[in-house]
Homo-oligomer: A and B are copies of this chain.
C-alpha cells in the first residue's frame, strides 16, 4: 500500500537528508551480512527485500526524532534500521498471494515471485526477528522502552491489526467507511511512523514532554503519509471522499505536525524537511 511514495521524488531532499539515507543503507547492509552457519539463500533473499532503494522514510523520521531532542544520529541508527526491517517484513508478507497478491515491489519481482512463497514467509519472519535482535543489542538505558514502543506499533493494535482490517478478515462494525479507512491508515501506517520518531527521541535521551510532542508530530505526519499515498494511487479515502477533501486534510495534518516542532527549534530541521518533502509529493 505504501509503495509509491517510496519510489518518487528522490532528488528533492536536501543534501543532509541524502547523507542520512546513505548512512541507513550502509548500516542495513552490515546488519544483513550473511552469518556463519546461516543458509545463504535466506540472507540473499533478506538483502533483496531490504537493500532495494527504499526511501527510508521511517528511519529518517527516527533519526530526526533523535536529533530533535539533542541526540546524535549514531545513537538512533540501529533503531532506525530495526524499524526499516519491520517495515520491509510487513511488505514481504503483505505481497503474498494470500494477502495483497502483488507481483512487483519497487519495480522488481516481489519476494515470493523471486524466491518462492515458502521462502518469502520465512524471509518476513527472519526480518522481524532480526529487527528485535538489533533492538536488543542496542544497550542504551532506554532500550526496553524503545522495544516496547516499536513492539506495540508492530502488533495487534498497530501494523498487524491494520492489515487484518484491510484484508476485511473481520466485519466492520458501526463505523462509517471514512472512519474505517482512517482507522486502517492509523494502524497500518501511522502507528509505525509514530513509533519511529518516539523511539528516535528515546534513543536520544528525550524527556517525557519532548516525547509527547514527537508522538503528536508522528501521528499527524503518519496519517498524512498514508493520505498522500492514497492520493498517488487514487485509492482508499480518495475513492470514499474525493481528491480535494483528502488533499486539504493532508495539508492540515502536515501543518499541525510541523507546529509540534516549534519547541525544538533548529534541532528539528530534519523532521521539518521531511514534513516539507511530504507536503510537496
A residues apposed to B, CB below 8 Å: 35-43, 46, 89, 93, 96, 98-99, 115-122, 124-126, 128-130, 132-133, 136-137, 139, 143-144, 147-148, 151-152, 154-157, 160-161, 163-165, 167, 169-170
Contact = CB atoms under 8 A, between A and B. Distances in A.
A42 B116 CA distance: 26
Nearest to A136: B147
A170 B116 CA distance: 12
Q: Which 10 A-B pairs have the closest CB atoms?
A: A98-B117, A136-B147, A133-B151, A98-B118, A39-B164, A38-B156, A41-B170, A129-B155, A132-B132, A39-B170
A42 B160 contact: yes
Q: Is the interface of A mostly helix, strand, loop or mixed?
A: helix
A36 B158 CA distance: 12
A49 to B, nearest CB: 13
A93 B123 CA distance: 12
26 contacts: A35-B156, A36-B157, A37-B161, A38-B157, A38-B161, A39-B161, A39-B169, A41-B170, A42-B160, A42-B169, A42-B170, A43-B156, A89-B125, A93-B122, A93-B125, A96-B118, A98-B120, A115-B169, A119-B169, A121-B121, A122-B164, A126-B155, A126-B160, A133-B152, A136-B144, A136-B147
Contacts of A118: 96, 98-99, 167, 169
A130 B147 contact: no
A163 to B, nearest CB: 6
Contacts of A152: 133
B144 A121 contact: no
A160 B129 contact: yes
B129 A154 contact: yes
Contact of A99 (B39, B121, B155): B121
A35 B169 CA distance: 17
Nearest to A35: B157
Nearest to A112: B98
